[in-house]
Amino acid sequence: MSDIDNVLEKLRLNSSLLSNYHRKRYIVLKSRLKYFRLPIIVCSAINSVASVSLQSFMSQTYISLITMFLSLSCGIIASIEMFHNITKQMETELDGYKSFYILSADIHKHLSLTDEHKTVTGTVFLNDSYNRYIKLIDVSLVLKKKIDDKLVDIPILHSSIPLNISTETFGDTSSDDSP
């Protein structure tokens, strides 16, 4: 396996991992959305029924208060949903899932072909794939290191660097008593 194929394989693994990460985030956000949408649907339905059918049971003042509180509840829930920007996050996660999956599949196709069946050279394909990967990372919502990055091996350093830094650490010999 050449160095170009090795880097492409690592790009493919990262793309696959990120595709899976974005898919899971999309599913979580989609399930979270129901906690906002269902109460709005229920409150709106109760509100419409209450505004019309309660007139024979209570005065219009109380009906107006009930419908006002139900409408206020719907507005607050909708505002919280908009504040959390769940729908926009879902769209971004879905786009990330699809884009990383397509990149991973393209790299897999290129690596699986023999040299005589490849339409572009390895270097050109690597540069194109890497540029696509970087663009996807830039728009991706991965804030924490949630994946085991295959491109960059970051070793854990065990160092004897002191946590408390003083002037003695740097060998400062000047004193406040000097003129």
Q: Transcribe 90-117 into DSSP letters.
A: HHHHHHHHHHHHHHHHHHHHHHHS-GGG
Q: Is residue 127 part of a domain?
A: yes
The structure tokens listed for 79 are 């505002």
Q: Which residues contact 51 (CB under 8 A, 6 or more apart)?
A: 63, 67
Q: What is the pLDDT of residue 144?
A: 52
The whole-angstrom separation of Cα 125 and Cα 107 is: 8
The whole-angstrom separation of Cα 70 and Cα 60 is: 15
The structure tokens listed for 73 are 């509840």
Say if CB 44 and CB 74 are below 8 A apart: yes
Q: Is residue 147 part of a domain?
A: no
The whole-angstrom separation of Cα 78 and Cα 13 is: 39
The whole-angstrom separation of Cα 140 and Cα 22 is: 9
The structure tokens listed for 56 are 């024979």
Cβ-count burial of 158 within 10 angstroms (0-12 exposed, 13-18 middle, 19+ buried)? Answer: exposed
Q: Is residue 169 part of a domain?
A: no
Q: What is the pLDDT of residue 97?
A: 95
| Four-residue CA torsion sign, 151, 156, 159, 162 | positive
Say if CB 90 and CB 36 are below 8 A apart: no
Q: Is residue 65 part of a domain?
A: yes
Q: Is residue 77 part of a domain?
A: yes
Q: What is the pLDDT of residue 114?
A: 87
Say if CB 108 and CB 78 are below 8 A apart: no
Q: Is residue 39 part of a domain?
A: yes
- Please report, in tens digits, the pLDDT of each residue of the chain (179 residues total): 688 899 999 999 999 999 999 999 999 999 999 999 999 999 999 999 998 888 888 999 999 999 999 999 999 999 999 999 999 999 999 999 999 999 999 999 999 988 888 888 888 999 999 999 999 988 886 655 556 666 666 444 454 544 444 445 444 444 455 44
Total domain count, the chain: 1
Q: Is residue 152 part of a domain?
A: no
Q: Is residue 163 part of a domain?
A: no
Q: What is the pLDDT of residue 157?
A: 47
Domain extent at residue 18: 3-139
Q: Which residues contact 48 (CB under 8 A, 6 or more apart)?
A: none
